[in-house]
Structure formats: C-alpha cells, structure tokens
C-alpha cells in the first residue's frame, strides 16, 4: 500500500511544506498552515481521460479540426453575455460572491430556465436541504420536472448522481462543502477543494456537461481556498453588489471562451433576480444635475458602453500632506491628472485635498475616463458646474494632450440614446464614423481646450 504523508498546507495560497511554520513563506500570511494528510499519488487521475493511458503524438496545428464549441442559451441575456454568449458544454465555471448576495438564487433561476427549455438539470446543494431549496424554488416560481435537486456533500455520490441522471447542466452549491472520501482533511480545506474541483473538471470534460460551482469568498473578497482553484476552472465569475442596494453585478474575471470585463446587471426582487436592460439609467439615476465636480463619462464594460457619473471634491488641505483618495478608479491616476492640470493648465492644486468617486459602486479601469476625471477635478476646484447634458470622453497624456479612444461611435450612441446633447471627444476621433443626428460633437486637442469648452475657461 502506498504510504500516506503528512504535510502542512497554507489555506490562503496553497503553499506546501513538510513542517509547520507560523508564517507562510508563499504569501506571508500568519497562522494559515494546517496539517493535511496527502493522498497517495497512485490514486490521482488525470483531468483529460485519455492523456495518461495512450501516448499522443504532437500534430500540426493546422490539421486539428475545430468546431464552434456547442453552447446552451439561457433566457437571461445578461447571463449569456457574461459567459461570452451562452454556457459552453463541458465547461467548469466557478462563481464567487459575498454571503447572501444571491448566488444560490441566480443559479436556481438559471437552472429553472434551462429545465423549462427542455434540458436535464441537476442542482446539488451541500448547504441546504432539498426542502430549503424547494422553498426558494416556490418563491422563484420554478415548475419544471426536468430540474432535479439533491442534497449531498460526498463527491463519490455526486459523481454517481451525475452518471445516472446524465444532465446537461449541473450546479454544485458550494465547493467548500464537498468532500472526497479518500482525503482525510476537513471539507473546505485546500486539498479537499483542489481534489474535488479536479474531479468535477474531469467529469465536465469527459461527459460534456457544464458544471457551475459556487465558491465562498474570504474577508478580503477573493474566492476562499487557494488561487489554484481559479487557475483550474474555465471561467471565474464574481457576483457582487452593495448590501444596501438591490442591484447585483455579475462579472467575468476569467473566461476561456469569451471576453472578460463583461458584466451583467440584475436587480434582487422578492420573485428572484430580474435583469436590468439599461444599466446607464441606474448609474445616473441619483445624479444631482448641475453640481460642481460631477461629470458623466461613456465607459466601455466589455462590449457594452455604460454611462457613469464621476464625482470630485476638491477642498483646501487643513494640515500636513494633501490627501488623494479615489473609489472606483485607479488611485494612481488622480495625482497624475492633478499634476497635468497644475503644470499644463496652471491650476494651483498642490495644497488641495482631492476625493474622487465613481457613483453607483462600479469600478472603471480604462484610460478613456481620464478627461472626465480632469474636468471633474477642475470643476470642483473652480466651483464651476459643467453642463449636465455633456458627456466627456478621452484619454489624457502627460503633456496635457487628449488622446484617441476606442469604440467612439458606440460610446456616443449610448450618450445620445440617454438624451445627452453634447459629447466632448478627442479631436483625433473625429471622422470616419457617423455621429447620431441629435448630439453635438465637439473635438478637443488638449485638457485646456476641454476645460474651456465645458467650464468656460
């Protein structure tokens, strides 16, 4: 019999060591090493069924036949888009999110839609009894007989159930409750999570079934367990939102079958999650029009343009070093843009505190929002409100020039759709596309010109 070995594994990064240590050398966290008994190597199986048995020859890439990977479509446009237009058969998707944010609700709803469309669906819950799942299903109005539920945590029974039912869509809620009976450590530990995920990956690939697993998140907001988990799966989704708002954002952070940075927006209602078709409206909902320091930018989220409000508050520093704070945007952009405003436009900002915020809790990380940030800062500093019907788009360079951005047409179209009257865009972006008739296009070459056009000097 193969010998079992004891090892110590960091629960935060997966670092392994033969002896216990107080501080993990891998990630530097304290008190994260726990004892786990490792499984004999012989019982490990490869993810791809044939790879260990038959020797495969390398073949020229041009001779490999491809087909569009088959996809299953849900009724929810938002959900399909986040996954890169539909669920890929044989893919393993990890979905993480804060407790109570609505992960089980979302997946039960998707399961129900797929079952309604004639797919066999298996919903496995390790956290709730079938009765609890049924209570939620009643609230969501689930009716299909093709949706089977199971309350199980033992991985061998889970794989048997998948074998018997032969579904096309499986939900495992959550990976932290699943355990592999050959591994002695507790469910939720690094070895358990890793081995269970590998086994589910093997099932997904060999049977061509799409498996969604729910992952808990840590205090810092990343998926609990080793980072390795995110490397193993095909797609990682985060379901986020503020506790105080009913809006929830589903975001792809990794996707082997589509673009990342796509997001889907849902609203939590008594009857479940409802998709929000026009996100720009909700991000601009509470805007106080005509306030100094507030501008609107058309930013790209994946393939979709959304309009978001950027707010700045500039106030004199009372003591010590001036503060620079930013939520929702890269905080390094703020001092950089302030330096540009100071040097190229002549605004005296060095003894001013600056607070920047993207309204609505979204995070923006593209350079096209630079100009809107700069105008917001200048507007708050001068106490001069920009026109509430202006939308501002452009990247700012270190010499104060306004640089070209991608997908200008789509951004301007979205602004026109929501009733904006004027778009301030980079001069270099003018021409080569057809602007909508009901919006005035103003091209600017540098920040000074943009300030002159929006704030009047």
Ligand X SMILES: Nc1ncnc2c1ncn2[C@@H]1O[C@H](COP(=O)(O)OP(=O)(O)OP(=O)(O)O)[C@@H](O)[C@H]1O
* Shortest spacing between CB 191 and ligand X, in angstroms: 23
Per residue in 254-290, is it b (16+ CB within 10 Å) or e — as a string? ebebbebbbbbbbebeeebbeebeebbebbbeebeee
* Shortest spacing between CB 140 and ligand X, in angstroms: 10
Tokens of 139: 């609230």
Tokens of 34: 């726990």
Q: Is 99 annotated as a binding residue?
A: yes
Number of H helices, E strands in the chain: 11, 23
Distance (Å, whole) CA 440 – CA 53: 66
Q: Report the residue number, 104 or 280, with the smaller CB distance to Mg ion.
A: 104
Closest CB to Mg ion: residue number: 104
Burial zone of 380 (CB within 10 Å; 0-12 exposed, 13-18 middle, 19+ buried)? buried
Compute how many residues bind Mg ion; rule: CB under 5 A. 1
Residue 39 binds: one of Mg ion, ligand X, none (C-beta under 5 to 8 A by kind): none
Residue 268 binds: one of Mg ion, ligand X, none (C-beta under 5 to 8 A by kind): ligand X
Residue 105 binds: one of Mg ion, ligand X, none (C-beta under 5 to 8 A by kind): ligand X
Q: CB of 29 within 8 A of CB of 38?
A: no
Q: Is 12 annotated as a binding residue?
A: no
Q: Is 98 annotated as a binding residue?
A: yes
Q: Is 101 annotated as a binding residue?
A: yes
Distance (Å, whole) CA 244 – CA 360: 11
Q: CB of 297 within 8 A of CB of 307?
A: yes
Q: Report the residue number, 239 or 420, with the smaller CB distance to ligand X.
A: 239
* Shortest spacing between CB 102 and ligand X, in angstroms: 4
* Shortest spacing between CB 216 and ligand X, in angstroms: 7
Q: Is 97 annotated as a binding residue?
A: yes
* Shortest spacing between CB 74 and Mg ion, in angstroms: 19
* Shortest spacing between CB 151 and Mg ion, in angstroms: 13
Give, as ranges, the residues between 76 and 115 that touch Mg ion (CB under 5 A): 104
255 binds Mg ion (CB under 5 A): no
Q: Report the residue number, 125 or 280, with the smaller CB distance to ligand X.
A: 125
Q: Report the residue number, 194 or 216, with the smaller CB distance to Mg ion.
A: 216
Q: How far is CA 115 from CA 73, 88, 94, 111, 413, in A?
A: 11, 16, 21, 6, 37
Q: Are strands 390-392 and 422-426 parallel, antiparallel or unpaired?
A: parallel
* Shortest spacing between CB 180 and ligand X, in angstroms: 21
Distance (Å, whole) CA 86 – CA 387: 41
* Shortest spacing between CB 172 and ligand X, in angstroms: 12
Q: Report the residue number, 231 or 243, with the smaller CB distance to Mg ion.
A: 243
Q: CB of 394 within 8 A of CB of 424?
A: yes
Q: Report the residue number, 99 or 457, with the smaller CB distance to ligand X.
A: 99
Q: Is 3 annotated as a binding residue?
A: no
Residue 101 binds: one of ligand X, Mg ion, none (C-beta under 5 to 8 A by kind): ligand X
Q: Is 225 annotated as a binding residue?
A: no
Q: Report the residue number, 139 or 343, with the smaller CB distance to ligand X.
A: 139
Provide the CB-side half-sphere exposure for 135 (13 A, CA).
Answer: 4
Q: Report the residue number, 21 or 282, with the smaller CB distance to ligand X.
A: 282
Tokens of 108: 């039960």
Q: Would you tell me how many other CB atoms lie within 10 Å of the CB of residue 431?
A: 8
Q: Would you tell me how many other CB atoms lie within 10 Å of the CB of residue 90?
A: 18
Residue 97 binds: one of ligand X, Mg ion, none (C-beta under 5 to 8 A by kind): ligand X
Residue 102 binds: one of Mg ion, ligand X, none (C-beta under 5 to 8 A by kind): ligand X
Residue 118 binds: one of ligand X, Mg ion, none (C-beta under 5 to 8 A by kind): none
Site residues (CB under 6 A) for ligand X?
97, 99-105, 127, 139, 268, 270
Reduced DSSP (H G I as helix, E B as strand, rest coil) percent helix, strand, coil of the chain, to 5: 30, 30, 40
Closest by Cα among 256, 172, 250, 259 to 214: 172
Closest by Cα among 174, 173, 179 to 199: 179
Residue 270 binds: one of ligand X, Mg ion, none (C-beta under 5 to 8 A by kind): ligand X
Q: Is 302 annotated as a binding residue?
A: no
Q: What is the DSSP code (8-state) at residue 31?
A: S
Q: Which residues are annotated as a binding site for ATP?
A: 97-104
Q: Which residues are annotated as a binding site?
A: 97-104
Residues within the interface to Mg ion (CB under 5 A): 104
């Amino acid at each position: 019999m193969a010998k079992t070995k004891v090892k110590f594994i960091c629960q935060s990064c997966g670092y392994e060591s033969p002896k216990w240590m107080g501080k993990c050398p891998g990630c530097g966290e304290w008190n994260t090493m726990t004892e786990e008994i490792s499984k004999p190597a012989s019982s490990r199986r490869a993810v791809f069924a044939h790879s260990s048995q038959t020797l495969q020859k390398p073949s020229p890439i041009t001779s490999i036949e491809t087909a569009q990977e088959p996809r299953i479509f849900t009724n929810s446009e938002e959900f399909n888009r986040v996954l890169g237009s539909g669920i890929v058969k044989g893919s393993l998707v990890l979905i993480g999110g804060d407790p109570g944010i609505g992960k089980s609700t979302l997946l039960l709803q998707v399961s129900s839609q797929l079952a309604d469309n004639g797919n066999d669906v298996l919903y496995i819950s390790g956290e709730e009894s079938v009765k609890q799942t049924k209570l939620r299903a009643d609230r969501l109005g689930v009716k299909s007989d093709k949706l089977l539920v199971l309350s199980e945590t033992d991985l061998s029974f889970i794989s048997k159930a998948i074998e018997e039912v032969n579904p096309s869509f499986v939900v495992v809620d959550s990976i932290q409750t699943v355990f592999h009976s050959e591994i002695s450590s507790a469910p939720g530990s690094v070895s358990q999570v890793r081995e269970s995920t590998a086994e589910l990956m093997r099932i997904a690939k060999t049977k061509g079934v799409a498996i969604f697993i729910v992952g808990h998140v840590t205090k810092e907001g990343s998926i609990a367990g080793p980072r390795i988990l995110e490397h193993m799966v095909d797609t990682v989704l985060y379901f986020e939102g503020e506790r105080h708002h009913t809006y929830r954002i589903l975001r792809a952070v990794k996707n082997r079958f589509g673009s990342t940075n796509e997001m889907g927006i849902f609203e939590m209602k008594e009857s479940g999650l409802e998709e929000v078709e026009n996100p720009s409206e909700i991000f601009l909902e509470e805007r106080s029009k005509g306030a100094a320091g507030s501008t609107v930018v058309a930013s790209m989220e994946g393939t979709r343009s959304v309009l978001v409000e950027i707010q700045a508050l500039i106030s004199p520093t009372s003591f010590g070093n001036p503060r620079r704070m930013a939520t929702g945007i890269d905080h390094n952009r703020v001092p950089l843009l302030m330096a540009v405003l100071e040097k190229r436009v002549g605004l005296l900002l060095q003894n001013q505190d600056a607070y920047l915020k993207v309204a609505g809790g979204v995070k923006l990380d593209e350079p096209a929002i630079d100009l809107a940030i700069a105008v917001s800062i200048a507007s708050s500093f001068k106490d001069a409100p920009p026109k509430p019907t202006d939308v501002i788009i452009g990247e700012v360079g270190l010499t104060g020039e306004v640089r070209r951005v991608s997908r200008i047409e789509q951004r301007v179209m979205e602004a026109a759709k929501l009733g904006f009257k004027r778009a301030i865009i980079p001069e270099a972006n003018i021409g080569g596309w057809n602007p909508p008739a009901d919006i005035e296009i103003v091209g600017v070459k540098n920040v000074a010109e943009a300030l002159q056009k929006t704030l009047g000097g």
